[in-house]
Chains A and B, each alone.
Chain A
Amino acid sequence: MASAAAPASSEEAVKAAKVLMVGAGGIGCELLKTLALSGFSDIHVIDLDTIEVSNLNRQFLFRKSHVGQSKAHVARDAILKFRPNINIESHHANVKDAQFNVDFFKQFNVVLNGLDNLDARRHVNRLCLAAEVPLVESGTTGFLGQVTVHVKGKTECYECQPKPIPKSYPVCTITSTPSKFVHCIVWAKELLFAKLFGDKNQDNDLNVHSKDGSSSKSDVFERDVDEDLDQYAQRIYDHVFGYNIEVALENEETWKNRRRPNPVYIRDTLPEAVKQNGSSRDCSNDHEEPSAMASLGLTNPQEIWTLAENSRVLLEAFKLFFEKREKEIGNLVFDKDDQLAVEFVTAAANIRAHSFGIPLHSLFEAKGVAGNIVHAVATTNAIIAGLIVIEAIKVLRDDYKNYRMTYCLEHPTKKLLLMPVEPFEPNTSCYVCSETPLLLDVNTKVTKLKEVIDKIIKSKLGMNLPLVMIGSTLVFEDGDGLEEDEAANYALNLEKVLAELPAPVINGTKLTVEDFQQELSCSINIKHREEFDEEKEPDGMVLSGWSAPVEKQINSNGENKSAASSSSAHATDDTVEDPSKPGMKRKLDELLETKENCDASSSAQVVEDDDDCTMLDGNPALIKKKRLQ
């Protein structure tokens, strides 16, 4: 292992290395180029994505003619064009696929991540730990970026620091008391759009507020048999922006300390629309993708529409869905690349925002919020790719005393735009790379096993194919190849509350959860609790027992009284800290969590604006560096 022998020369180490690159997007394109130039000659690339137009401003290996093709394959071909003598193997696949198991990972000397989502990052981290392959991890957003090194037993793993879970909002903020534009977007996308065009069998909180006393219909969102499309559109408009607000206003308690919303009716916003009921419109652009903006002659996506314009766009988009895309209705899921869906959601969110006195936004801005679009530029990706290669070479030379995590900053800190920091030691309470049990507060009398698996084991612990054991009793297993009776039995268990499982889960029970693919196993101690705060603990359960190591360090080391004094002592040292912003690392981690092209399919998550990030910044005074020895 860490021999006393002098590290190999960079050239030799690079030539002999076999590397795995996960992600061939913004960072990946730059990385593949820099690896090839630096003399790496055996590279595997995995990416499941295909190329889109909005990639072309930075993913320079791709051209317009490649749109729709595999990123991994096109990137490989582009590099081979100028360096034909190296070996690049490309996999157009998900890194979570079973073929990329621990044995697959073991063939590499180092793994380099250029990923865009937390889920895949955690998965790769676990495989690298299991296969004992060093990992160089990276991320960028706008002008910010970071590169970190994770070597089992030497530095912290990617998950030693708890990662912020993408923000979700309390249901009542979305359904009744929005205070930010993002709340209106979530409402328009997750509730209204889903209700009208999505799967009718999905639970939808819009139901709760759609009791229409005057009608005998079971669901106001259903179209009446004798109703023409205009009438239908206007009725829905009045219902969600007018009637529902009036109903909400009746609850005086809600508005005691809040600004009261204004109901919006079509007769006020578009008096002429009501009169020209059923008028025919110009439907000349049949050859193109249907667009409400286009049919209304609105051209500038940067412009903020008036309330009347938003209303027109909403009605028009609504009708276009029924006229041009009727077959898709019932199966539609919001997609940021679906122009008509973006128009509908923008308009609906703006009308709701108007109602609640929230500033309106342009389609361009609304699209960014609704699609979780992360800011991205070529320069940051290029810099980060350069830093990844520098760290990869150190890893290959086993030069662990010089490992650094590097932050790329927008504003210089202590004159630095690129700030290297010594890596942290492994967190001894990390449930991923140590074997520390976790603690779960949960009401065992009402919570179903299914909820624990979805909200905790899959979502928080990031397991892909989990197995759950209580003592020696197996209560759940995921994956293919199950016997029919086993599968039926597990399905039954999923719907049972914890206390009624074959092996009852009560206060003090220890759960063992495992994921064979990730070779990860951990224990969860159960603590029964009956009351949960709906606002602060919306899951109805709380996972804890996995804390950052920094507090312990401060206590155990009297010298590190304050960040400022210790960093000035290290002023001539190799690494630097930022005395003015001691929470820098944590804050950057959080900022960077929604990295390049964050996975847009995950629901109700939004890009944080700067204000939110500051709020997230937990305990900034506690960040200290810990030397590697």
Chain B
Amino acid sequence: MMDLSKYVADLICFFRRLGIRAFRAMGGGGGGGAEEELTAQETALYDRQIRVWGVDAQKRLSKAHVLVCGVNGTTIEFCKNIVLAGVGSLSLMDDHMVTEDDLNSNFLIPHDESVYGGKSRAEVCCESLKDFNPMVRVAVAKGNPSLIDGTFIDMFDIIVVSCASLKTKLFINDNCRKRSKHIAFYSVECKDSCGEIFVDLQDHSYLQKKPGGEPEQQELKYPSLQEAISVPWKDLSKRTTKLYYAMRVLESYESSEGRDPGETSLSDLPAVLARRKDMCDRMSVDESKIPTSLLERLLAAGKKEHPPVCAILGGILGQEVIKSISCKGDPIKNFFYFDDADGKGAMEDIPPTS
């Protein structure tokens, strides 16, 4: 954990500098009150998006700190989007060495082993992301997501987790919820042409746009990941997407087999079908809720990501994080699903808000 503590020190130092900048602005900025004005450079660069979400949202964005655990095609799309949008800082945590498999869906890794050889995914991508927007601090956070602790987590406003085991996701989500500071938690997985996003904003209040009227303050209360995945299936609406159930079966199978996420293939199908039967029996629902063909697709996908689906998931996730930071606009509560097969991008509220 040496690397991590050095990183913390580094980041704290950066935050101090930020603090000084803010302090100076408060003392020296005439006319604008306590709020720091956007610089002319920021106004020119962000002109088109300020027209979408306003100056206040842009200021909030520039003060937000984001951690991404797990670097893949989908999270890199997300990173690109929020770096362009102008978040305060982005930290990447993924110590895995880059392999040829990473090239398929990750546009930040060049097809040149002399560039990526011997470097971690986070290191290679960090360099490219810095270029996208010099006003955003992009850094590598070395370490293992399954070991990160509260003091470290406290440095962030947003944590996005991908290609991590269910255990790690639950651990990080639980940690976020224990902190006194409000930390938004997201997890995202792309399985070839299908994708799932989970959102936990804990207690979230935001301004809801009312057509023709003044925006209204809204309050939402989110369930934890543990709560969201352990709802009795028979309580859920008949129209709940099949992907929700299929992902839970797969997750459960991977966890009990001790597999890394996506480390599955079609040869696992018989065992996964047994798992489906087991879970459906326990939940008193019919197995037909989870079509075999869907499980086959997910198993065949393994770790493969379909680039257009990465773009869609990374775009939706980027938008959600911007909504949550700016406290503006209806956020997803609490799952989002995309399936290339029917083209729908649908939200699910699980357990349903009564």
A residues bordering B, Cβ < 8 Å?
A: 30, 33-34, 36-38, 53-54, 56-58, 60, 63-64, 81-85, 142-143, 299-302, 364, 368, 373-383, 385-387, 389-390, 393, 404, 406, 408, 410-412, 415-420, 571, 574, 576, 610
Residues of B with C-beta under 8 A to A81: 110
Q: Which residues of B contact A36 (CB under 8 A)?
A: 107
A376 vs B84: C-alpha distance in the bound complex, in angstroms?
Answer: 12
Assembly CA distance A412 to B308 (angstroms): 21
Please determine whether A377 and B49 come into contact, CB atoms closer than 8 angstroms.
Answer: yes
Main secondary structure of the interface of A (DSSP, over half): mixed
B308 touching A390 by the CB < 8 A rule?
A: yes
Given A301-B43, A419-B345, 18 additional A-B pairs, CB 8 A: A30-B311, A37-B73, A37-B107, A54-B47, A57-B49, A60-B132, A300-B31, A302-B55, A364-B50, A368-B51, A376-B52, A379-B322, A382-B315, A386-B315, A389-B311, A390-B340, A412-B347, A415-B346
Contact A418 B344 (CB under 8 A): yes
Question: Is A415 within 8 A of B86, CB to CB?
Answer: no
B131/A63 in contact, CB under 8 A: yes
B29, closest chain A residue (CB): A299
B271 at interface (Cβ–Cβ under 8 A)? Answer: no
Distance of A34 Cα from B346 Cα, bound (Å): 22
A-B contacts counted at CB < 8 A amount to 169
The verdict on A57 contacting B309 (CB below 8 Å), with A300-B37, A382-B318, A416-B346 known, is no
CB-CB nearest in chain A for B312: A386
CB distance from A620 to the nearest CB of B (A): 15
Contact partners of B51 in chain A: CB under 8 A: 142, 368, 373, 375-376
How far is A610 from B346 in the complex, measured between Cα atoms in Å? 25
Of B55, B109, B307, B346, the residue contacting A38 (CB under 8 A) is B307
A382 and B52 within 8 A (CB): no
Q: Across the interface, do A418 and B48 meet the contact criterion of CB distance under 8 Å? A: no
* A420–B345 CA distance with the chains assembled, in angstroms: 9
Residues of A within 8 A of B85 (CB): 57, 377-379
Provide the residues of chain B in CB contact with A387, threshold 8 Å.
308, 312, 343
Could you say which residues of chain B place their CB within 8 Å of the CB of A380? 315, 319
Return chain A residues, CB-CB under 8 Å to B109: 82
Task: Give B81 Cβ to nearest chain A Cβ, in Å.
Answer: 5
Most buried by A among B50, B73, B107: B107
Provide the B22-58 mask, 1 if CB < 8 A to any CB of A, else 0.
Answer: 0000000001100001001001111111111101000
Residues on B with beta carbons closer than 8 Å to the beta carbon of A56: 45, 133
Evaluate contact between A37 and B45: CB separation under 8 angstroms. no
CA distance A377 to B318 in the complex (A): 10
A421 to chain B, nearest CB (A): 9
Instruction: Give chain A residues whose Cβ lies under 8 Å from the Cβ of B104.
Output: 37
Provide the bound-state CA to CA distance between A328 and B341, in Å: 57
A385 vs B314: C-alpha distance when bound (angstroms): 12
- Distance, CA A576 to CA B132, complexed state (A): 37
B86 contacts which chain A residues (CB < 8 A)? 57
Could you give, for residues 295-313 of chain B, a 1 whenever the CB lies within 8 Å of some chain A CB and a 0 otherwise?
Answer: 0000000000011111110
User: Out of B77, B310, B312, which one reaches A418, CB within 8 Å?
Assistant: B312
List A contacts of B344 (CB < 8 A). Answer: 416, 418-420, 576
| B310 x A386 contact (CB < 8 A) | yes
The answer to whether B206 has its CB under 8 Å from any CB of chain A is no
B173 at the interface (CB under 8 A from A): no
Closest residue to A576 on the B side, CB-wise?
B344
- 12 A-B residue pairs with Cβ-Cβ distance under 8 Å, sorted by A, are A37-B104, A54-B48, A60-B80, A373-B51, A378-B80, A379-B81, A379-B316, A379-B319, A415-B348, A416-B346, A418-B344, A418-B345
0/1 interface trace, chain B 127-140, chain A, CB 8 Å (1 if under): 00001111000000
Q: In the complex, are the beta carbons of B345 and A34 less than 8 A apart?
A: no
Bound: A419/B348 CA distance, A: 15
Pick the residue among A377, A381, A420 that contacts B343 (CB under 8 A): A420
Q: In the complex the two chains form, what is the Cα distance from A410 to B52 in whole Å?
A: 11
Q: How far apart are the CA atoms of A56 and B86 in the complex, in Å?
A: 11
Q: A54 and B330: CB pair below 8 A?
A: no
Answer yes or no: B69 CB below 8 A from chain A CBs.
no
Q: Which residues of B contact A (CB under 8 A)?
A: 31-32, 37, 40, 43-53, 55, 73, 77, 80-81, 84-86, 104-105, 107-111, 131-134, 209, 211, 239, 306-312, 314-316, 318-319, 322, 329-330, 332, 336, 338, 340, 342-348
Please state if B319 and A53 are interface contacts (CB–CB under 8 Å): no
Residues from chain B with a CB closer than 8 A to the CB of A379 are 81, 85, 315-316, 318-319, 322
Are the C-beta atoms of B319 and A143 separated by less than 8 Å? yes
Counting chain B CB atoms within 10 Å of each CB, the highest count among A63, A383, A410 belongs to: A383
Within 8 Å by CB of B311, from A376, A382, A406, A571, lies: A382
5 closest A-B pairs by CB? A418-B345, A386-B311, A420-B343, A383-B315, A37-B307
The interface residues of chain A lying within 8 Å CB-to-CB of B330 are: 411-412
Q: What's the least CB distance linking B224 to chain A, in Å?
A: 22
**Centre residue among A85, A299, A378, A574 by max chain B CB count within 10 A:** A378
A377 to B47, CA, bound (A): 10
Query: Are B343 and A390 within 8 A (Cβ)?
Result: yes
- Which residues of A lie under 8 Å from residue B311 when comparing CB positions? 30, 34, 382-383, 385-386, 389
For residue A85, which residue of chain B has the nearest CB?
Answer: B111
Evaluate contact between A34 and B338: CB separation under 8 angstroms.
no
Task: Tell me if B81 and A378 are in contact (CB < 8 A).
Answer: yes
For A374, list chain B residues within 8 Å (CB). 48
Neighbour of A60 across the interface among B49, B52, B73, B84, CB < 8 A:
B84
Of all chain B residues, which has the CB nearest A403?
B343
Chain A residues with CB under 8 A of B319? 143, 377, 379-380
* Residue of B32, B81, B105 contacting most chain A CB atoms (<10 Å): B81
**Which residue of A30, A58, A299, A386 has the most chain B CB atoms within 10 A of its CB atom?**
A386
- Distance between Cα atoms of A415 and B241 in the complex (Å): 11
- Does A382 contact B314, Cβ atoms closer than 8 Å? yes
- A376–B319 Cα distance when bound, in Å, is 12
Task: Please give me the residue from chain A that is nearest to B241 by CB atom.
Answer: A415
* Chain B residues whose C-beta falls within 8 Å of the C-beta of A416 in the assembled complex: 344-347
Residues of A within 8 A of B306 (CB): 38
> Contact at A84–B111, with CB atoms within 8 Å?
yes
Q: Give the distance to chain A from B113, nearest Cβ to Cβ, in Å.
A: 13
CA separation between A128 and B299, bound complex, in Å?
40
- Chain B residues near A34 (CB-CB < 8 A): 307-308, 311
A412 to B346, CA, bound (A): 8
User: How long is the Cα–Cα vector from A36 to B319 in the complex, in angstroms?
Assistant: 24
Tell me the bound Cα distance from A56 to B308 in angstroms.
22
Chain B positions within 8 Å of A38 at CB level: 306-308
User: Measured between C-beta atoms, what is the minimum distance from B201 to chain A in Å?
Assistant: 16
Q: Whole-angstrom distance between the alpha carbons of A167 and B52 in the complex?
A: 21
Q: Which residues of B lie under 8 Å from residue A378 when comparing CB positions?
A: 49, 80-81, 84-85, 315, 318
CA distance A34 to B342 in the complex (A): 20
B37 proximity list for chain A (CB < 8 A): 299-300
Q: A53-B45, A302-B55 are in contact. Are A382 and B81 (CB under 8 A)?
A: yes
Residue of A nearest to B77 (CB): A382
Residues of A within 8 A of B314 (CB): 382
Residue from B50, B310, B343, B348 with most neighbouring chain A CB atoms (10 Å) = B343
A residues near B132, Cβ cutoff 8 Å: 60
Among A58, A64, A406, A415, the residue within 8 A (CB) of B84 is A58
A216 vs B342: C-alpha distance in the bound complex, in angstroms?
A: 74
Among A299, A381, A389, A417, contact of B308 (Cβ-Cβ < 8 Å): A389
By a CB distance below 8 angstroms, the chain B residues around A33 are 107
Q: Looking at the assembled complex, report how far the CB atom of A238 sits from the nearest CB atom of chain B, in whole angstroms.
A: 30
The answer for the CA separation of A196 and B86 in the assembled complex, in Å, is: 40
A37-B105, A576-B344 given; A376·B48 CB < 8 A: yes
Which chain A residues lie closer than 8 Å to B81 at the CB level?
A: 378-379, 382
| Whole-angstrom CA separation of A251 from B40 in the bound complex | 46
A368 to B55: give the CA distance in the assembly, Å. 14
Contact B49 A58 (CB under 8 A): yes
CB nearest neighbor in A for B345: A418
- Once the chains bind, are A389 and B43 in contact (CB under 8 Å)? no
A60 contact set on B, CB distance < 8 A:
80, 84, 132
